[in-house]
């Protein structure tokens, strides 16, 4: 017999649910039951994959603590994962014992919520344990409480051993009639990875920049990108070019207010200046069209634009400074 314990509390030393879960595990192991323990607070980055651990279970114990309201986030995430990714056919054969201890109010509601959730998943809820315990020490010194835990554990063992049947629940029928699980094209591992990317600000920002770059490239390919003024801007760069021997670099200039990207590739005496992005630029710059005009008119340098905060850049600052040496713009009179 295999029984999994899923503990949804925070792992505090004085957590009464933790004491009950430990006691139940001890009793089950004395009955020669194979017990797997999953502390959800330790598995918080892998909760989406935990429904896979149900495949070898004959029964489960869902243990959580009510500290202020409801069954807690970790347990709710686990149940959500069971609904999205769990094998409903397997869950339908698994008995579940809810254990909800409260340090405030709501232990009965919490126990009922776990039972209803398991029924909606198609599983078989058993009579569990719930109670209000202000001090975990009370559980240790009160023999009557220990007796309750032992009886509940033995009852779970007996129900699983005898495969005790139960009447169908109305919420299971409603689920079959009107509730459907949305098809998910990703595996739990892929979904978890995507959620990590979404929470990574630098990744999201980089993706937005890539999308902006692609949009600019497509506009250029359709012939809508370059106006006469923009062609003149390319001419200004070509005329101001002062090559340096053996210097090679690629620059990408994003004009934020125009959604345009100017690419510059320097290879010794050779210069390529175009609308688009060079492959793997050494320096990426973000600034407005007006700021670029200030630079090509000789009233500002690239380095000064960066130091004043007018321009944002990524890449080698030394290569950025060289930009002012290879392009000598004269101030317009």
**Residue whose C-alpha is closest to residue 124's, from 110, 135, 114:** 114
The burial of 291, by beta-carbon neighbours within 10 Å (0-12 exposed, 13-18 middle, 19 or more buried), is given as buried
Of 17, 19, 81, residue with least CA distance to 44 = 81
Give residue 245's pLDDT band: very low, low, confident or very high (50, 70, 90).
Answer: confident
Write out the DSSP string of 14-39. Answer: T-HHHHHHHHHHHHHHHTT-EEEEEE
Per-residue tokens: 14: 């004085």
Outline which parts of the chain fall under CATH 3.30.1050.10. Answer: 205-326
pLDDT of residue 162: 87
Q: Classify domain 2-188 at the CATH superfamily level.
A: Flavodoxin domain (3.40.50.360)
88-121 pLDDT tens trace: 889 988 999 999 998 888 889 999 999 989 988 8
Start-end of CATH 3.40.50.360 domains in the chain: 2-188
Query: What is the three-class DSSP state of 180?
Result: coil
Three-class SS of residue 187?
coil
pLDDT tens track for 189-243 = 555 555 555 556 676 677 777 777 777 666 665 554 445 556 778 888 888 899 8
Q: Which residues, at least 6 apart from 218, have a Cβ–Cβ distance to it below 8 Å? A: none
Does the pLDDT at position 185 exceed 60? no
- CATH code of the domain made up of 205-326: 3.30.1050.10
Short-list 255, 322, 243, CA closest to 282: 322
């Amino acid at each position: 017999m295999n029984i999994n314990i899923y503990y949804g509390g925070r792992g505090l030393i004085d957590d009464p649910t933790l004491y009950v879960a430990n006691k139940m595990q001890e009793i089950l192991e004395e009955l020669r039951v194979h017990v797997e323990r999953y502390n959800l607070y330790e598995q918080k980055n892998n909760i989406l994959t935990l429904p896979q651990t149900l495949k070898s279970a004959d029964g489960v114990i869902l243990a959580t603590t009510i500290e202020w309201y409801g069954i807690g986030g970790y347990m709710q995430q686990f149940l959500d994962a069971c609904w999205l990714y769990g094998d409903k056919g397997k869950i339908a054969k698994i008995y579940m014992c809810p254990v909800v201890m409260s340090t405030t109010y709501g232990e009965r509601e919490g126990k009922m919520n776990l039972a209803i959730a398991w029924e909606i998943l198609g599983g078989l809820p058993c009579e569990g344990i719930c109670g209000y315990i202000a001090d975990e020490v009370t559980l240790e010194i009160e023999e009557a409480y220990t007796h309750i835990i032992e009886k509940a554990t033995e009852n779970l063992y007996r129900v699983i051993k005898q495969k005790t049947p139960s009447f169908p629940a109305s919420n299971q029928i409603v689920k079959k009639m009107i509730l459907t699980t949305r098809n998910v094209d990703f595996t739990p591992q892929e979904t978890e990875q995507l959620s990590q990317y979404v929470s990574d600000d630098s990744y999201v920002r980089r993706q937005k920049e890539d999308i902006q770059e692609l949009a600019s490239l497509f506009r250029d390919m359709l012939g809508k990108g370059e106006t006469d003024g923009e062609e003149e801007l390319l001419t200004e760069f070509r005329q101001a070019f002062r090559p340096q021997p053996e210097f090679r670099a690629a620059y990408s200039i994003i004009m934020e207010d125009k959604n345009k990207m100017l690419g510059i590739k320097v290879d010794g005496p050779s210069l390529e200046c175009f609308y688009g992005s060079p492959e793997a630029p050494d320096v990426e710059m973000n600034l407005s069209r007006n700021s670029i005009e200030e630079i090509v008119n000789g009233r500002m340098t690239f380095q000064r634009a960066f130091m004043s905060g007018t321009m944002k850049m990524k890449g080698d600052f030394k290569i950025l400074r060289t930009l002012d040496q290879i392009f000598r713009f004269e101030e317009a009179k």
